[in-house]
A and B are shown apart, each in its own frame.
Chain A
Amino acid sequence: MEAASLIIVLVIVLALFFDFTNGFHDTANAMATPIATGALKPKVAVLLAAGLNLVGAFLSTEVAKTISGGIIREDQIDSAIFPSIIFAGLIGAITWNMLTWLLGLPSSSSHALFGGLIGATLVGVGVAAVDFSVVMSKVILPAIIAPLTAGIIAYTATKIAYAMTRRYDSRPDGRDGFRVGQIFTSSLVALAHGTNDAQKTMGVITLLLITSGFQSASDPDPQTWVVFACAITIALGTYMGGWRIIRTLGKGLTDVKPAQGFSAESSTASTILASSALGFALSTTQVASGSVIGSGLGRRGSTVRWRTVGRIMVGWLLTLPASGAVGAAAAFMVVWFGNWGVLIDAILAALIILGIFLRSRRDAVTAANAMSEVADSGRAVKVKRNPPPTRRQRAIDREQARLRAEREAQGIAERKAAERKAADERAAIAARTKQAAKDNARAEAAKKKGPGSR
């Protein structure tokens, strides 16, 4: 086999490995909330997520087309060097992903992929090979707008869910039913994850096939075998990643109520699905985090812990340039040493990944290094244990206070009237007694005078 063909095969394998780590990394995002609220058993949740990721990967290919036919300008690229550049980009993405996973830093697999790819292309080919309009409109702006959109929608949905099920008579409100609903909404999140994240790898492999002449540039749709390979790999990664949830759950999402989780997941799924249909390559982690924060704020008496939000934001902002820098460094090797550079990259990356993996095995799995970033976002909102009353509750309280006051006033008036009546009766009795005494005295006097006077 020629060196060029070998590199193409190597890149496809590496891309599928990235797909696998993506599924592995993001299972918690889809299934953390229903497991935390007790809606699903972890093993069932993970199996469901894997199956739906597989189905989701077949739903749409718009995101794949954004990557294969948008971000990188194929006409500006020398087909001989580009497979090596994609290889360097993938090395950057995987290394950054593993590093953030080890350190427990909030990150995004998707942005690591874009960062690595763009960084490697800038160094390996030049500025002209990157279409910054597409990068801005399909990657950077959605990265800022999508979590905000998801947050606003989750806030509104949470308000609706609580308002529609609120009761003022202390009888059962039926909110337990949201726990059953979460089985469906979390399944939708897994499906949405499949439609967006699996397609990123499809896009990278298709881009590779286009630039190396195996596919026409006029048809950026991924080939069927690419769709199948990516769908199966992400599903497998999702299933394999489940053990982390089983081991670490219960430490992350401590205060997500079923109604809140249901609203957050509905918002996450709808935002990702709508974005996927328009070809926006989103970070599902960031969207899910935005939803969790928004739904937390939708509960009464909640406040934002800005320090936690800031830490999450910094992690997000760092991902693109940091993975870009690693991708660029890997691309330098390719530019300087050619095929030997690819080999050096592969060895260095394998050593780094192996080192990170062994290092991670030494530490116990805790919420800090294994729980999903979405769970971390749950801590960004502080919810009071006894939330302040709603406007209607305040109105009811005011009405009750008014009735109490009225009753008291009526009681006082009645008491006064009774007192007056009692006083009158006493006065009447006294008058009658006095009159009787007078009558008696008069009768006595008449008796004494009686016989003599006659």
Chain B
Amino acid sequence: MTLTIDWFAFVQVFVASMIGAVLVVGFYSAGLRLLVRAGRAPVVSPAEFTDAITVITEKDAARASKAAAKAAKKSPLSDGQKTFALGAAYLSFGLAGLAVVGGLLLILFNH
């Protein structure tokens, strides 16, 4: 009995998964970074429900919002630069979404 194993398929899975995950995480993180540059640091409170971990309390969230607003005021960027950074942030989020859609379409077309 001989075992025939397609090792190349494992390499394909590794490379495709790595590219997919790195593109999504990279673009999304870049988007967040640019959002902060544009003076719009996101402060997202966790959804409230019983039994769940409270990641940040309301007080923490308010403090974080205040710090974000203060940091935005101190930003050395001009209004034009901030608008550019905001546009680039949305473009990054869009590219992250495009990477996901592209991956799914690849699977659909391979099928």
- Interface residues of chain A, those whose CB is within 8 Å of chain B, are 35-42, 44, 59-62, 132-133, 136-137, 141-142, 145-146, 149-150, 152-154, 156-157, 160-161, 164-165, 167, 171-181, 184-185, 188, 191, 195, 246-250, 253-254, 258-259, 262-263, 266-267, 269-271, 273-278, 280
Contacts and interface: CB of A to CB of B under 8 A. Distances in A.
B18 A145 contact: no
A161 B24 CA distance: 10
A164 B35 CA distance: 12
Given A176-B64, A278-B13, A133 B4 contact: yes
The DSSP consensus for interface residues of chain B is helix
Nearest to B45: A38
A180 B9 contact: no
Interface size class of B (residues with CB under 8 A): 35 or more
Given A36-B52, A133-B5, A180-B44, 15 more contacts: A38-B47, A39-B47, A41-B47, A59-B111, A132-B1, A133-B2, A137-B6, A153-B18, A156-B18, A160-B22, A165-B36, A174-B33, A262-B25, A270-B16, A276-B107
Contacts of B45: 38
A356 to B, nearest CB: 25
A174 B42 contact: yes
A103 B49 CA distance: 28
Contacts, number: 187
B14 interface: yes
B46 interface: yes
Contacts of B88: none
Nearest to B20: A270
Contact of B13 (A38, A154, A248, A274): A274
B107 A35 contact: no
B32 A175 contact: yes
A247 B51 CA distance: 7
Nearest to A272: B17
A275 B11 CA distance: 11
A286 to B, nearest CB: 14
B77 interface: no
Contacts of A60: 107-108, 110-111
Contacts of B44: 39, 176-177, 179-180
